[in-house]
Structure 1
Amino acid sequence: MHVAFIGAGGVGGFVGARLQASGERVTFIQRGPHLAAMQTSGLRLTSQLGDVDLTEVDVRPDADGVGSVDVVFVCVKSDQTEAAGELAKQMLGPDTAVISLQNGVENEDRLAAIVGPEHVLGGVIYILSLIEEPGHIVHSTPGAKLQIGERDGSESTRARVITEACAKAGLDVELSTDIEAALWIKFTGLCAHNGMTALTRCAIGPIREDPVCREVLIRCAREVLTLAKARGVMLPDDFKAEPVRVFMKVPPTMTSSMHYDITHHKPLEVDWLNGAVVRLAAQDELDVPVNQTIFAGLKLHAAGS
């Protein structure tokens, strides 16, 4: 199977390195210093799940000459989705799967508008993995969970083949028959966790221990649940009852990608997280004051320094 990754950062580099190490043919599309380092020295992954050292990788600045592939994983920030879609379009075959592993709930529709809805599957990944330095990815959490599924809920051959390849690569992967719900479950957590850790510049521990901050975390999540219900997304009852339960169990030092970005003066994805809640809620005439406040508190930092 030929798998292309648009973005070889914390997510794309992690999944791609695992797949190549397991024997799959992998092409990375990347730019900047990370591209140069990978071209010169390959890609190194440091992970509690096992290290990977790839001395040679197929990495390019664009899709020229790649040809059609079996799978395209989109692993860039959400503000780059349209550009990624145009790259993916150059690598399409009749049954190519295009899978976003990005944050947010709008990327699938944005990609479908470019490559065609028949090519787009949904994808969800739970991981904290970053570029430590060009050419070196560090996966810093104990696990990594991946969910992949057709948007219509069917168990297609291509979805099964992709899932089996990921499992062979040692990934904790699930073939989902309700990927829309999976996307909204992650989105709920991202808006609460990423939003509050970035806004406070604190890890999750102090946030959940402080009664005021904990209440804001919970209310933020409940606003997203209300939005999901208004949009016809069916979420599990146990999740709706305790939408931030997972954050009460994770290590107190756990931060988030948006916390990392704001503390390192990098662009934020807040427009596609809490900002998306505000935007979508306005379409449905819903009030989301907590998400609106978090969005307002982070929006002026969204461009980075």
Structure 2
Amino acid sequence: MARVIIVGMGAMGSVYAALMQDAGHEVHGVCHWPEHVAAIRRGGLRVHGFSGDRTVQLASVATDTQGLPVADLVIIATKAGDVEAAADSARHLVGPRTVVQGIQNGLGSPERIAATLGRERLAVGVVGGFGASCPEPGTVHHNGMEMIRFASYAELPAADLARGSAVWQSAGFRVQMFENVDQMVWEKFIMNVTFSGTSCLTGLTIGEIMQQEAAWSVAQGCAEEAVAVAQAKGITLDVGDPVEHIRALGSRIPDARPSMLLDALAHRPGEVDAINGAVVTEGRTHGVPTPVNDTVSNLVRARERTYSNHGHGA
């Protein structure tokens, strides 16, 4: 079995940790939310919902990486804005055979991880049909689990990519490996762009956004702009009609609340710059107008400036 260290054990990272520990791996979790860490130490980590109901004792859980050993697999599961600090804290965890996997929403995170930990050991992961939330410290609700996709960022050998992916498969995750990392990232990215900002601003679930004409018109506008940017960049989206593909995926997790909404409800900054804001940035670079994403991004930023505190983090 593998030694796994998960840096960024919020809702999603906690799901990964619980299922991997339950499968027999040695899992160490790192989380900046002290109450979550204390609750897990006291009573174990409970994950319930789509993947069943289990309470597991991790090998360790702490608020930092001090004292942790070199790992077989390091999963950086923080928010996009925290990846540089997370990667820096993981330097001593990476050995010559360690596989590093970055799993973030949006664009730009793999580049920032590679700048700190190097390109040679890095895989990029995206999750689809997922959803999770922390209703209270030590407990995570798991809404769905469609697929984890991985690709080498640049130079990770195929055998090592497969070795890292095998840990996930052993824990019950469905895994697909890609050769084209840009295609893999953008096929998930268009889903994030569609629902993230719209849900943050309206408070609606994915299913409610698709049901309400006014909300869906904004969400669809975000999606269509992202698809246009992908086309301008020469990125293949092998999903058929992209908007229908997004609706089909959304229909599988209608009750899910995207992480940007959960961040807003907790009064902590979200990932708008890596998601809707990234469409605007890429659109400017490639001459593609993105007025819907520009408006959504600015409204989310305006909302975030009203927060009096930053809540808890992963």
Q: Same fold (TM over 0.5)?
A: yes
Partner of residue 136, structure 2? 133
Give the counterpart of 1:41 among 40, 43, 62. 43
Structure 2: distance between partners of 1:134 and 1:211 = 36
In 2, the alpha carbon distance for the partners of 1:64 and 1:248 equals: 39
Task: Write the deviation string for residues 228-286 of structure 1: whole angstroms up to 9, x where unpaired.
Answer: 22223221150446353325634544432222222333322112111111122223333
- Counterpart of 2:40 in 1: which secondary structure? helix
Q: Which residue of 1 aligns with 2:311?
A: none
RMSD: 2.2
State the Cα distance separating 1:62 from its structure 2 match: 1.8
Cα–Cα, structure 1 residues 41 and 50, in superposed 2: closer, same or farther, change >3 Å?
same
Contact 1:123–1:179 (CA<8 Å) still a contact in 2? Answer: no
Evaluate the alpha carbon distance shift between residue 38 and residue 178 of structure 1 in structure 2; reply closer, same or farther with a 3 A threshold: same
User: 1:135 is aligned with what amino acid?
Assistant: G
After superposition, residues 130-279 of structure 1 pair within 5 angstroms as 130-141=133-144, 143-152=145-154, 156-236=158-238, 238-240=240-242, 242-246=244-248, 249-250=251-252, 252-279=254-281
Identity percentage of aligned residues: 28
Alignment: residue pair count:
304
Which residue in the other structure is 2:6 paired with?
Answer: 5
Question: In the aligned structure 2, how far is the partner of 1:137 from the partner of 1:253?
Answer: 15
Quick check: 1:153–1:179 contact (8 Å CA) kept in 2?
Answer: no
Q: Aligned partners of 1:45 and 1:275: how far apart in 2? A: 32
1:221 shift after superposition: 0.8
Q: Which amino acid aligns with 2:93?
A: M
User: Following TM superposition, by how much is the alpha carbon of 1:94 offset from its aligned partner in structure 2, in angstroms?
Assistant: 1.2
Answer yes or no: is the 8 Å Cα contact 1:267–1:301 preserved in 2.
no
- Asked if the contact 1:154/1:177 (under 8 Å) is kept, the reply is no
Report SS of the residue matched to 2:47. Answer: strand
**1:26 maps to what in 2?**
27
Call closer, same or farther: CA 1:55–1:212 in 2, change over 3 Å: closer
SS in 2 for 1:242: helix
Q: Which residue matches 2:298?
A: 296
Q: 1:65 to 1:210 in 2, by over 3 A?
A: closer
Task: Provide, for residues 97-135 of structure 1, a one-character-per-residue CA deviation record: whole Å limited to 9, x for no partner.
Answer: 221111112110110011111121110113111122111
Deviation at 1:153?
Answer: 9.3
Q: 2:26 touches 2:59 (CA, 8 Å); kept in 1?
A: no
Cα distance in structure 2, aligned partners of 1:55 and 1:252 = 31
Greater RCO, 1 or 2 (C-alpha within 8 Å, sep 6+): 2
Q: Which residue of the partner structure matches residue 119 of structure 1? A: 121
Judging changes above 3 Å, is the alpha-carbon distance between structure 1 residues 227 and 91 closer, same or farther for their aligned structure 2 residues? Answer: same
Return closer, same or farther for 1:241/1:195 CA change in 2, 3 Å cut-off.
closer
- How many angstroms apart in 2 are the aligned matches of 1:54 and 1:225? 41
Change (3 A) 1:125 1:112: same
Any stretches of 5+ residues in structure 2 without a counterpart?
Answer: 309-314
SS in structure 1 opposite 2:257?
coil
Q: Are the counterparts in 2 of residues 145 and 173 from structure 1 also a CA contact under 8 Å?
A: yes
Is the contact made by 1:5 and 1:29 (CA closer than 8 Å) also made in structure 2?
Answer: yes
Q: 1:247 to 1:290 in 2, by over 3 A?
A: farther
Find the aligned partners of 1:191 and 1:153 in 2 and give their Cα distance.
28
TM-score, reference length from structure 1: 0.91
1:34 and 1:129 map into 2 onto residues whose CA distance is 15
Contact 2:267 2:304 in 1 (8 A): no
C-alpha spacing 1:290/1:167, structure 2 compared with 1 (3 Å):
same
Using the alignment, how far apart are the partners of 2:253 and 2:42 within structure 1? 36
What is the aligned partner in structure 2 of residue 60 from structure 1? 62
Is residue 42–residue 57 contact of structure 1 (8 Å, CA) maintained in 2? no
When the two structures are superposed, what TM-score results if normalisation uses the length of structure 2? 0.89
Q: Provide the secondary structure at the position in 1 that maps to 2:66.
A: coil
